[in-house]
Amino acid sequence: MPVIVITGASSGIGEALALRLAAPGTTLHLVARRRERLEALEERLRAKGAPPRLHVADVRDPDALEKVAQTVLDEGPPPDLLIANAGIRGEGDGNGREAMEEILGTNVLGVLNTVLPFLPAMRAARKGQIAVVGSLAGYRGLPEAGAYCASKAALMAWTDSLRLSLAPDGIALSLVNPGFVTTEMTRRNPYPMPFVISADEAAARILRGIERKAPRIEFPGPMVMMVRLLAILPPSLSDRLLRLAKREGH
């Protein structure tokens, strides 16, 4: 009976993943801050024959996530799949101190708070998979989004390193780098979102990558090529291209 833990499960990609993974015999542990959204999702999952365990917790709180992990492990074996999905885009000045503290606290430390408590048990069992949801924005600093891009770049480096450490223990680690996905968070974006896809389509692509145990799961293809190109161009040229794109977007 597979055991799956998902953070940020009350909306967006996390919700879509929960709905796709729900099946009789699957134990879903769903973590999010908003109880009412979790309870609404619970009803939909019960209808699919997979009543979930709900954990109301903020990933920024390491003690709360330690308690979640202990609850999961007290019930049975460590997760077969742990998806660290919770993340924020932030508001206001995306390059300021407040944004850095808020976004890094959730997008980076929140991932560590999610993953680290499970690692001893997963290593002892010598099995399991971890998926960390990052973003294609981690490849290059984008206008007015320094904190967000920095948080996702940090996840790229950290997961690359951790993946190598976990491989001898039989644990697979995937970094998920989506492009634009229609979610509660992105609906507020004041700029065009090329190649945008639905949360359900994103979830489908993520799960296909997890099934392959892909080190990186990145989509959609055209956006992947664009950000990788921006990352390798000389900064003077990539800066000009981004300034031009920003002007055209306005």
Catalytic residues: 148
Query: 189-217 burial by CB neighbour count: b if 16+ within 10 A, else e?
Result: eeeeeeebbebebbbbbbbebbeeebeeb
Q: Which of 5, 88, 8 is CA-nearest to residue 53? A: 5
Strand-pair partners of 181: 197
Backbone angles phi, psi at 147, to 5 degrees: -65, -45
| Cβ 82 vs Cβ 88: under 8 Å | no
Can you tell me whether residue 60 is helix, strand or coil?
A: coil
